[in-house]
Structure 1
Amino acid sequence: MIDDKSIEKKICEEFYWFHRHPELSYEEINTTKRIRQDLQNEGIQILDLPLNTGVVAQIGSGDQPVVAVRCDIDALPIQEKTELVYKSETNGKMHACGHDFHIAVILGAAYKLKQNESDLKGTVRIIFQPAEEAPGGALDVLRTGVLDDVQAIFGLHSSPLFSVGSVGIREGAVTAAVDHFEINFKGKGTHAAHPQNGIDPIVAASAFVSSIQTVVSRNVDPFAADLISITHFQSGNTWNVIPETAYLEGTARTLRPEDRQLVRQRIYEMAENTAKAYGAKAEVIWHDGPPATNNDGEWAAFAKEQAQKIGLDVKDSPYSLGGEDFAFYQEKIKGVFVQIGTGESYSNHNPHFQVDPAAIFPAAEYMAGMAADSLGKIKK
């Protein structure tokens, strides 16, 4: 049986390997093979599921209660700009969000749980989830039914805001619901010298861009953390023609379900009515993303106790309007999503982002202990 010192050495080596070999969402073929081999080498059961990438393993008796621990495994289309000796070997791809760290931590947690498998008072499912950045990999795992009998779920994320040895935990929402919208403003093209003969979609779309910010400033609670950003505006292709159409694209970020519904409704109304005011038409295309994370109060308190028990410094997780598809699990299963301090660094999704490997083993001990002790907390 692998001992703690060997576990620490092994998972640090694996972290370096995963960082050097990043793969994008739904392309994690070699990452999946490596994880499977790591698990098989320690005799950990791998469940047979209809997933093209990603792995779900199981440790324990196979009986109730059942809890789950989840990490994500995909990288980002970013050119790495660090000077790390183990920097990405794949041009244009990088683990810029710490998913390589997540894999190493949860591998370590799996090894720790396997060490003490006979003592587990139930079953722990270990999820190595693909395509968090897509997003949507969580939905693929849920569709397999492998979590239908799970009673609690635990997830983690690296945090460049916290030092090694600290963990951020908060009850309620930590990350936001993330929605993506597209809007096509349709007017009538004409010569730029004769605007009266057409309907200018650029004017209508520009008016919408200016007015949509009033949704956050005037329609929702000033203490709510909501955001609407227009990130793409495209229209026309030459200097002397008023075009037929203007295209907008953007994102809405909300923490509360009621705000999410209101913001969507107001974007539809303001697009359609602003267009109408200028004689144009607007078509809104809405893409629902993951909801806000929702840390259960009881499990958040438990996670804090577990962290303090092993000497981690517990802090409040900062609110973030970034998205996280762990929230899809939390719609069905109570649990908690924690922020693991990985040393101050550039922000996630930055080409200079990096984590301190010293955070790997303590985080693995923490996640393993939380999973094991949670089984005793759940009534059969």
Structure 2
Amino acid sequence: MLTDEKWEDLYRFRHKLHKHPELPMQEFETTARIEERLKTLGLEIITPTSMRTGVVAALGPKEAPVIVLRADIDALPIQEKTALSYSSVTQGIMHACGHDFHTVSLLAAAERIKEMEGSLNVRVLFVFQPAEETHQGAELVLRSHILEDAQFIIGFHNDPTMSVGTLSIEGGARNAAVDQFKVRLHGKGGHAAHPDKNVDPVLGMANIISSLQSIVARNINPQHAAVLSVTHVEAGSTWNVIPDDSWFEGTIRTFSTADQTLARERFEQIVKLQGEAFGLSSEIDWISGPPVLWNDVDLVKQVQDSLRKKLNIVESAPSAGGEDFAFYSQSIPALFAEVGSGISTGLHHSDLKVDDEGLKTAAAWYVETLQILSKKLCA
């Protein structure tokens, strides 16, 4: 068990990370700090050379079955407004998603598992993953082949809508598949007083955006969760000129491959055909993000009862937010939890605060689940 002094030291370390956040693929200082702490614990650093940031460490017999514990380490381009004594000192960058909380939870778990090293019958890989926010990090780790022998992978995300000390672990789809789009519309600009002589990309864009909402309302099964949000529109430069072009961008979130495929098909049809109806040509940039994050249903059933004896398990709904842990869940049996970080504003807010006490539940999630799965592998 970790002493109160060790927990206080871990809290101070989180505050240091929080004070010095770094953007995706730029987490050099964060990486160095994590690596130094792991070396002090006596863990073996096995970070692939293909990873410029992030850390992978190992503990346990080299020939034993492999279980992976994963946390993410990057921050967001948001100006912090928390007024905490350890607020970010880096202009315009903040741990507004609580990845500092995730990092230190895994470090705490590493300390506890190090104490258990003599009884380990599995090899544990500790993955401190970069670039979750840009959905690059998980694929980078997978391409390195460092996880090829993994039997299970365990992760979590903090949830500031859940009280400290609570944890949710449920089977099936937990986070949505994320698709991003950008649409460019091309017309023919001219004087606003003579719209009949022009091809108006603003009117066309407005109608297309409205029609796109029919995908969720009239194409996706009403019993299936889905969302389409247009979040950014641009056109024109002044009040009396119809512009040549307009563009908009946004995202679609779905919870099944079938719905994801259908949504894209209908999106492309609406943009092309409705654009043509207004005399516009169109271009679509489609950027696929993480797939659906899938919790192995059988695994969840196997761990829930044991976890309830030691942790405060509660229910939570799936999230339409994206999480690149989903890439792991496609090829490795996965368990991903939500851990209460204290009632606060939502993720990605400039005033997000997480409660240090929640680290204890998050670390226990890693350690307890590791022990349950270790017994399963070596039964």
If the TM-score is normalised by the length of the shorter chain, which range does it land in? over 0.9
Aligned to 2:349: 350
Distance 2:378 2:182 in 1: 47
Name the count of aligned residue pairs. Answer: 378
Where do residues 74-93 of structure 1 align in structure 2 (5 Å cutoff)? 74-93=74-93
Instruction: Verify the 8 A CA contact 1:306 1:366 in the aligned structure 2.
Output: no
Where do residues 299-318 of structure 1 align in structure 2 (5 Å cutoff)? 299-310=299-310, 312-318=311-317
Residue 292 of structure 1 aligns to which amino acid in structure 2?
A: V
Give the TM-score of the pair, scaled to structure 2. 0.96
User: Could you give the per-residue CA deviations for residues 128-176 of structure 1, whole angstroms, max 9, x where no partner exists?
Assistant: 0001111211111111000111011010111112111110111111111
SS at match of 2:172: coil
Distance 1:195 1:75 in 2: 47
Shift of 1:373: 2.8
Distance 1:87 1:340 in 2: 22
Distance 2:195 2:376 in 1: 71
Distance 1:176-1:113 versus aligned 2 partners, 3 A rule:
same
Shift of 1:300: 1.6
Distance 1:345-1:122 versus aligned 2 partners, 3 A rule:
same
Residue 196 of structure 2 corresponds to residue 196 of structure 1:
yes
Aligned to 1:248: 248
Aligned to 1:336: 335
Instruction: Verify the 8 A CA contact 1:69 1:153 in the aligned structure 2.
Output: yes
Give the TM-score of the pair, scaled to structure 1. 0.96
Aligned to 2:324: 325
SS at match of 2:271: helix
SS at match of 1:294: strand
Instruction: Verify the 8 A CA contact 2:121 2:378 in the aligned structure 1.
Output: no
Distance 1:188-1:364 versus aligned 2 partners, 3 A rule:
same
User: Could you give the per-residue CA deviations for residues 309-339 of structure 1, whole angstroms, max 9, x where no partner exists?
Assistant: 32x2111232211110000100111111100
Shift of 1:3: 5.1
Question: Which range is displaced more, 240-249 or 27-36?
Answer: 240-249
Aligned to 1:176: 176
Residue 258 of structure 2 aligns to which amino acid in structure 1?
A: E
Distance 1:14-1:169 versus aligned 2 partners, 3 A rule:
same
Shift of 1:215: 0.7
Shift of 1:306: 4.1
Distance 1:170 1:136 in 2: 25
Distance 2:169 2:316 in 1: 5
Shift of 1:70: 0.4
Instruction: Verify the 8 A CA contact 1:174 1:317 in the aligned structure 2.
Output: no
User: What is the CA RMSD across the aligned residues, in angstroms?
Assistant: 1.5
Instruction: Verify the 8 A CA contact 2:156 2:338 in the aligned structure 1.
Output: yes
Where do residues 111-260 of structure 1 align in structure 2 (5 Å cutoff)? 111-260=111-260
User: Could you give the per-residue CA deviations for residues 228-284 of structure 1, whole angstroms, max 9, x where no partner exists?
Assistant: 111111111122222111111111011111111111111100000001111111111
Where do residues 99-118 of structure 1 align in structure 2 (5 Å cutoff)? 99-118=99-118
User: Could you give the per-residue CA deviations for residues 19-48 of structure 1, whole angstroms, max 9, x where no partner exists?
Assistant: 111111111111000000000001101104
Instruction: Verify the 8 A CA contact 1:185 1:205 in the aligned structure 2.
Output: yes
Distance 2:173 2:215 in 1: 21
Residue 230 of structure 2 aligns to which amino acid in structure 1?
A: I
SS at match of 1:174: strand
Question: Which range is displaced more, 234-243 or 23-32?
Answer: 234-243
Instruction: Verify the 8 A CA contact 1:66 1:375 in the aligned structure 2.
Output: no
Instruction: Verify the 8 A CA contact 2:167 2:361 in the aligned structure 1.
Output: no
User: Could you give the per-residue CA deviations for residues 79-133 of structure 1, whole angstroms, max 9, x where no partner exists?
Assistant: 1111322222222211111111101100011111111112111211110000111
Runs of 5+ unmatched residues, structure 1: none
Residue 87 of structure 1 aligns to which amino acid in structure 2?
A: S
SS at match of 2:77: coil
Shift of 1:289: 0.5
Residue 73 of structure 2 corresponds to residue 73 of structure 1:
yes
Residue 154 of structure 2 aligns to which amino acid in structure 1?
A: F
Distance 1:259 1:144 in 2: 31
Residue 37 of structure 2 aligns to which amino acid in structure 1?
A: D
Residue 241 of structure 1 aligns to which amino acid in structure 2?
A: V
Question: Which range is displaced more, 11-20 or 175-184?
Answer: 11-20
Shift of 1:362: 3.2
Aligned to 1:284: 284
Residue 226 of structure 2 aligns to which amino acid in structure 1?
A: D
Distance 1:154 1:7 in 2: 23
Where do residues 22-101 of structure 1 align in structure 2 (5 Å cutoff)? 22-49=21-48, 50-101=50-101
SS at match of 2:248: strand
Instruction: Verify the 8 A CA contact 1:113 1:372 in the aligned structure 2.
Output: no
Instruction: Verify the 8 A CA contact 2:47 2:57 in the aligned structure 1.
Output: no
SS at match of 1:365: helix
